[in-house]
Amino acid sequence: MFDTHTDVRIPDLAPCGSADHEDCGLRMILDRLGEQWTVMTLAELSAGPRRYRELERALQGISQRMMTLTLRRLERDGHVLRHVEPSIPPSVTYELSPIGRSFAAQVAALVEWSRQTKAHIEASRASFDARSGQK
């Protein structure tokens, strides 16, 4: 047993980036999830393939630059497939890859959990803030 919270010992882990480090994959996913538009883009693409402008209209408040960056990052990670139809102007369609559908399903569980616990978290924050004199 530890005397204080500062006595907690962290087990020796292999350095991040080495093959033996067990949460490097988690770090990559958390980095992607931490981006503001990732979850909303995955949710929109969960309904099926979408053209660029359809996505842009559905994701209210996203800038064209941020949408392009989000789609490129998701495509680079293998979550999104990009199809270009040779027309004038070119028609670009995005859809979830099999791994993207799997990722979206995991994110959907997180979204559902956040909906279920939102009121509790807000009440906890209000209680904490009232006790500590914060706003």
User: Angle, to 10 degrees, between the axis of helix 38-46 and the axis of helix 98-132?
Assistant: 130
Please report which confidence band the pLDDT of residue 132 belongs to, taking 50, 70 and 90 as the band edges.
Answer: confident
**Total residues belonging to the chain:** 135
Q: Quick one: pLDDT at residue 16?
A: 61
Model pLDDT for residues 76-122, shown as the tens digit of each residue: 999 999 999 888 888 899 999 999 999 999 888 888 998 999 999 99
CA distances from residue 45 to 108, 115, 119 in whole angstroms, order as listed? 12, 20, 28
Q: Could you tell me if 58 and 50 are in contact, meaning their C-beta atoms sit under 8 angstroms apart?
A: yes
Whether the per-residue pLDDT at 28 is higher than 70: the answer is yes
> For residue 26, what are its two tokens?
């988690």
How far is it, in rounded angstroms, from Cα 73 to Cα 96? 13
How far is it, in rounded angstroms, from Cα 48 to Cα 62? 20
Residue with tokens 């070119």: 90
Please report which confidence band the pLDDT of residue 35 belongs to, taking 50, 70 and 90 as the band edges.
Answer: confident
Whether the per-residue pLDDT at 24 is higher than 70: the answer is no
CATH of domain 19-132: 1.10.10.10
